[in-house]
Structures are given as C-alpha cells and as structure tokens.
Structure 1
Amino acid sequence: MLKKLLASVGIGKATVDAILLSDSLRAGDDFDVEVVITGGDVAQELNAIELAVMAQAKTEADVGDNEITYNKSVVLQHWQQTLNVTVAPGEVITRQFTLTLHPETPATELFGQQISKVWLQTGLDIKNGIDGSDKDSLYIRPSATQLAVLDMVEHSGYTLFKVDIEAGGVRGQGFSSHLPCYQEYEFKPQDRSLFGARELEVTFVDNGSETGVLIEIDRAFLGDGYRSVSIPNHCTTINDVRPYLERLLS
C-alpha cells in the first residue's frame, strides 16, 4: 500500500526514456524515436505516451509600469499514442514512432553553433499517478533555401548578430506562420552610414514547397520597413535566390 501511495505522488513510479534514432534534421523531415518505459516499484496502468516538440521562445509582459522580456516554453507539435497496458515492477516496454517535424520548426544550429533550443518532450499518461517525463534536444539545420538567403544577406553587406525565437506569428505577402513562435535572424550592416540601415531582421515561413521570407529593415530616421517574398524551395544557391532578394535588400 505504501509503495502504491508513493508511486501516485511520483516516487518509485514508471519512467520513460526517449531515444532519438535520427541525428541532425531539417524542418519537415521525418525522424524516428524509440520510447523505453521501465516499470517502477508497483504495477501501474499506462493510458498513453505523450510526445511534443517544444521550443524556448522570447516573449514580453507588462508588470506594473514596466515591460519585461522573458523566455517561455511553447508547444510546436503534439502526438498521443494510446497504450492501455499495465507495466509490472521492473518490466521494460518499448515502442517506436516515426514523427514529422513541422516545416516551420526553428533551426537550432548554424555552421555547428547552437542558435536556439528545440526539444522533444516525452511523457506517460499514468492512471492515478504523476507521469514520468524525458527531454531530448533536437538538432535542426536551416533548409538549403534558408541558407542561400542568409548567404545572400551577408554578401549584401550585413553580418549575422544574433538569432532569437519570438513568441507570436508573422505575415508577409502571400504567406503567414502557423506555429506559436517564429525564428528571427538579426543582422548588422558592415558599413554603418548615417542614413543607412541600422539593423535587418530575416524571418522564414516554409510551407514545404516555398519559403516565405519576411525582411524588416530599421533605417535611421525612417523607422522600420517590412518587405517580403516567397521563394521556391528548389532555389538552393545565392544565384538562385538573388532575383527574389535584390529588390528587398536595396
């Protein structure tokens, strides 16, 4: 009886471990996961396995007269796999899943450097108990089209300064985002002339066949201006994307 009581509050409960069978990914890719469930001190009824792709996003809130910026975890995708099994003490149950990343999933690495946090959260829906959970980082590279756009921006006289994931959505000419957050690449001009751009921010919205590119340009004395274009995903080099971007970057 004591063991059942402890398991109901999370002590000696069944645990879950997710093993990613796919290495570096791109948004829109399929990836394989093996979920290993190990029984705790008592038998427990498992209703389902819960899996979610999550990201750390920057958001703002008003606190009194001040506006503060903080990071929060947001759910990008969620899956539930029904189990309805009883796991005995010490028993090991395994399940394999093939999941698909949303095409708008933010990238987490650029040229081997971590630029953001996206992970797979795995948990158990346990009858009359607290679920065990596991958290595994996902390594996601920008698409070839996105890399070509970023290269084009750098070749146009800008240097990448930082990358953020922002809570909320974006909209451009002919496209809009669907996830609860978006990724923003912030560039600074290499030649900071008095009336030139002080900052340039690039956001991507990929629908699988085209990549929407939203560019926000902050010009001295003129404020922010927004420009956008959709680029087919078969465009994967600077020369491919140049005709779409030259007007936006001028």
Structure 2
Amino acid sequence: MVFKKMLSALGVGGPSVDTVLTNPNTRPGLVLDGQVNLRGGDTAADIEQITLALVTRVEMEAGDSEYAGTMEFYRLPVSGAMRLDAKQELSIPFQLPVPWETPITDVYGQRLRGMTMGLRTELAIARAVDKGDLDPVAVHPLPVHERILEAFAQLGFQFKSADLERGHIHGVQQTLPFYQEIEFYAAPQYAHAIREVELTFVTNQQGVDVIIECDKRGGLFTAGHDTVGRYTVSHAGVDQVDWRQQVEAWLGQTVSSYASRPGFGHGGRPGKQGHQGHHGHHGGMGGMVAGAALGIGGGMIAGELLEDAFEGDFGDE
C-alpha cells in the first residue's frame, strides 16, 4: 500500500512522503524491503530524520483495568539529517529486518481474527515528528509453525482468536515486550478434560519454544485450573516429524502436568507471573502431516477486511 501524508505542521505546500513496500507479506526472520519517496513542497525543508517502525496491537493492563494499545517493537532509521529542496523528488531504499519473535498475522491467506500489524513512517522536521499513516503488513508462519497449526486443525481444535499480551514468559528467552496467544476451542475428544487451549510460539534463529496452556475442567471435588507445558523444536527436519502425533503427545503431557497444583500457570500481564512449564520431549519420527489448511474448517477467518481492521485498531493515538 502507498500512503501519502502531508505534514500538517507545515500546512499546505509542505513536503510529502510515500512509503512503498515491494511486498507486504513476510515471515519471522526475513526482511521487508521497499522505498520511502519524498517530494519537496513549495519551499526547502530541513529534515532531521526518517524512521520506519513496526507497530502492532497489544493487550495491556493499567491498575485494575485492561485495554488494547498500539505498541512499537522495531525501529529502523533510513535517513539522517538532510535538506529537501522545493519540488525535489528523492527515493530512499530500505531493508527492514523482521524480528524472529514477530507474531503471526496470517495463515493460508487468511487474517487471524484479532491480529493487526503495520509499518509506520516517521518524518522528523523542525523538531516535530509526523507519524504518518500505516502500511499493513502480513506476517506468515514459518514451516514449523504451519505444521503445528495444521496438527491442531487435524485433531479437531477450532480457532477462537489471537492476541498479544504484554509481558514475558517465565523461563523463556524473549526479546520482545509481548507474546502471542493463539486460542482454540477444545477438540471433541479433549472436551471432557479441557475447555480451551492457548498456543504460544517464541521463535529464534535455531528453533521455537512452543508453550501450550490448557484450561482444564474441574472434577466433582476439584476446581478447574490451567496447566502449562513448554516444548522446544528445531527448524531443521520439519518434514520428518509426524506433527499430529507430536502435538497429541504434547497435549497429553500438558493436561497431566501439575494436575495437583491448581493455579500453576501464567498471568501474562504486567506485574504478574509469566508462563511456567517444563521442557517436553520430541515425539516419534514419521511422515509429514497431510495438508490441512486452517481455512474455513479451522476457523482462521478474519472478521473484517484488513483496511477496516487498521481503521479500528490504529486510529488516533
């Protein structure tokens, strides 16, 4: 998407900026490339800096209340101080690295309900910063993410929603100030034991920490509580794992973990404890899981068009 933003501080006739992404689709660990196009206004202007920033919508907590706010999680200066003459046209190419922990927004061409992300351009001139508009960005899963999500769909779990929680997960090396929770309704064969499952990926260059939290049902004399399991997988050898069998094993271990310790789980919000769990073990090796797209069958359908989502989630700040 190309956006045009006149600098309101300078009024009509000031410089304008267009940011153009070569491709708005990306994956964690890759890059977004494009160019920032400047056009001088009626008079020369001294630009102090041009910066690009990845921003997203994050659930936060303030006191006893919760709210969703826009959070910046990566910045890239693309230009330092420069003078833009009247009517001058200038194009600045850029390559913006996408952090490995960047949350997934799209699966099999469908936007995850609850997820929004954009690339913001900031133009600093005369000690004023104009934040411009946003280019929508779509972050697609890496192969290991896809296989795990496919396995949940094959087992009958139905996608509920996804969001980002501000905070850190206990015991997991994490660089971003938030983590993603992908929520599923329990599959029929698990419904007697659990209500819902929350899936979190914390990704790095070598592999992924997979955190599974089960909302476990209570018994006749026991209250329901959360159980959490943490499992580590590598990017290598993804196609040699039977992921359905692997996820079944993880779920079995997670449901049985800490069964006698109600409340042993996570808060996930500022000032509260993060996820706690244990290292799991890799399951048996086998053939690649047959394709099971998390489309209509898996419930991975966006509730609105991407443009509408940005209007609602990234309004006036």
Alignment partner of 2:93 out of 96, 99, 117:
96
Aligned-partner Cα distance in 2 for 1:146–1:218: 22
3-state SS, counterpart of residue 9 of structure 1? helix
CA shift at 1:195, angstroms?
4.4
Aligned partner of 1:150 in structure 2 is: 149
- What amino acid is aligned across from residue 38 of structure 1 in structure 2? R
CA shift at 1:45, angstroms?
0.4
- What amino acid is aligned across from residue 103 of structure 1 in structure 2? W
* Alpha-carbon distance change, 90 to 74 in structure 1, aligned in 2, over 3 angstroms: same
- What amino acid is aligned across from residue 227 of structure 2 in structure 1? G
Aligned-partner Cα distance in 2 for 1:166–1:224: 17
CA shift at 1:22, angstroms?
2.3
After the TM superposition, which residues 166-181 of structure 1 pair with which residues of structure 2 at under 5 Å, given as runs?
Answer: 166-172=165-171, 175-181=172-178
Q: For structure 1, which segment, 193-202 or 204-213, has the greater mean C-alpha deviation from structure 2 after superposition?
A: 193-202
Aligned-partner Cα distance in 2 for 1:111–1:193: 26
Aligned-partner Cα distance in 1 for 2:202–2:61: 22
Aligned partner of 1:22 in structure 2 is: 23
Aligned-partner Cα distance in 1 for 2:137–2:228: 31
Aligned partner of 1:199 in structure 2 is: 196
3-state SS, counterpart of residue 176 of structure 1? coil
Aligned-partner Cα distance in 1 for 2:125–2:161: 41
Aligned-partner Cα distance in 1 for 2:125–2:211: 44
Aligned partner of 2:162 in structure 1 is: 163
- What amino acid is aligned across from residue 177 of structure 1 in structure 2? Q
Per-residue deviation, residues 142-170 of structure 1 (Å, max 9, x unmatched): 11101111122233342211111222222
3-state SS, counterpart of residue 236 of structure 2? coil
Aligned residues of 2:24 and 2:136 also touching (Cα < 8 A): no
Aligned-partner Cα distance in 1 for 2:151–2:131: 46
* Alpha-carbon distance change, 130 to 163 in structure 1, aligned in 2, over 3 angstroms: closer
Aligned partner of 1:133 in structure 2 is: 132
* Alpha-carbon distance change, 134 to 36 in structure 1, aligned in 2, over 3 angstroms: farther
Q: Which runs of 5+ in 2 are unaligned?
A: 1-6, 219-223, 253-317
Aligned-partner Cα distance in 1 for 2:94–2:200: 31
Aligned-partner Cα distance in 2 for 1:230–1:110: 22
CA shift at 1:128, angstroms?
4.1
- What amino acid is aligned across from residue 100 of structure 1 in structure 2? P
Aligned-partner Cα distance in 2 for 1:132–1:186: 32
Aligned-partner Cα distance in 1 for 2:53–2:110: 24
Aligned residues of 2:159 and 2:183 also touching (Cα < 8 A): yes
Aligned residues of 1:53 and 1:78 also touching (Cα < 8 A): yes
Aligned residues of 1:195 and 1:219 also touching (Cα < 8 A): no
Taking structure 2 as the reference length, the TM-score comes to 0.69
Aligned partner of 2:208 in structure 1 is: 211
Aligned residues of 1:17 and 1:37 also touching (Cα < 8 A): yes
Aligned partner of 1:230 in structure 2 is: 232
- What amino acid is aligned across from residue 57 of structure 1 in structure 2? V
Aligned residues of 1:34 and 1:94 also touching (Cα < 8 A): yes
Aligned-partner Cα distance in 1 for 2:184–2:152: 8
Aligned residues of 2:157 and 2:186 also touching (Cα < 8 A): yes
**Cα root mean square deviation, aligned:** 2.3
Q: Which runs of 5+ in 1 are unaligned?
A: 1-6
After the TM superposition, which residues 63-74 of structure 1 pair with which residues of structure 2 at under 5 Å, given as runs?
Answer: 67-74=64-71
